[in-house]
Amino acid sequence: MEAVFIIYGIVQIILVIGLSMVATLIVLRYYFSHKKQVTPSTPQGEDTKIILPLRLQAYERIVLFLERIAPNSLIMRVNRPVMTAAQLQASMTRTIREEFEYNLSQQLYISSKAWEMVRNAKEETIRLINSALTKVPETAQSSEMIRVLLDLLLSEKKSAVDAALDEIKKEVQKTF
C-alpha cells in the first residue's frame, strides 16, 4: 500500500509540473505575440515617431532657407536705397552665409544628394551676386547691380535654388 502512495505522490508531482509547464508556455506565447504587435520592427516604431517630425521640420527649414536666399527675395530684404553696389553685394553674401550656417544641422535629416544641391544653390547664388558686381562699378547705386543681377537670373534656364527646391519636394513626397 505504501507503494501506491508513492506512485500517487509521483503522479501528483508530474501532474503539477506538467500543468505548470503548459501554463508557462501559454503565458509566454501570449506575451511574445502581443509584444510583436506593440513594438513592430517596421518604420512605424517609436524611433520613427521621433525622427519623422524632425525630418519634416528639416525639410521646412531648408525650403525656407532656399526661398530666403533666392535673389528676388534677398534683394527685397537686404537692399537699402542708399547702398552702393559693393555694399549690397557684401550684405547679400553675408546674409546667405549666415542663413546657411544657421541651417547646417539640417543636413542630418535630408539626403546627401539634397544637401549637396542646397550647398550648390548657396554657392551658385553667391557666384551670381559676385558676377553682377563685376559688371557695374563698385560705387554705383545698388539699383544698377540689381538690374544686372536680375538680367543674369533671367538668362539662366533654371536656377540652382529652384533645382534644390525641386529635389527637396521630391524627397518629401517619397518620405510622406
In order, the DSSP letters of 78-113 are H--TT-BHHHHHHHHHHHHHHHHHHTGGGGGTS-HH
Residue ranges per structural domain of the chain: 1-37, 46-175
Give the pLDDT confidence of 72-120 residue by residue, as tens digits: 999 999 999 899 999 999 999 999 999 999 999 999 999 999 999 999 9
Instruction: Please report the pLDDT score of residue 44 as a whole number.
Output: 56
Which of 24-33, 144-153, 157-166 is predicted with the least confidence, judged by mean pLDDT?
A: 24-33
Position with higher pLDDT, 175 vs 71: 71
User: Any residues with CB less than 8 A from the CB of 46 and at least 6 apart, and which?
Assistant: 39
Instruction: Please report the pLDDT score of residue 131 as a whole number.
Output: 96
* pTM recorded for the entire structure: 0.72
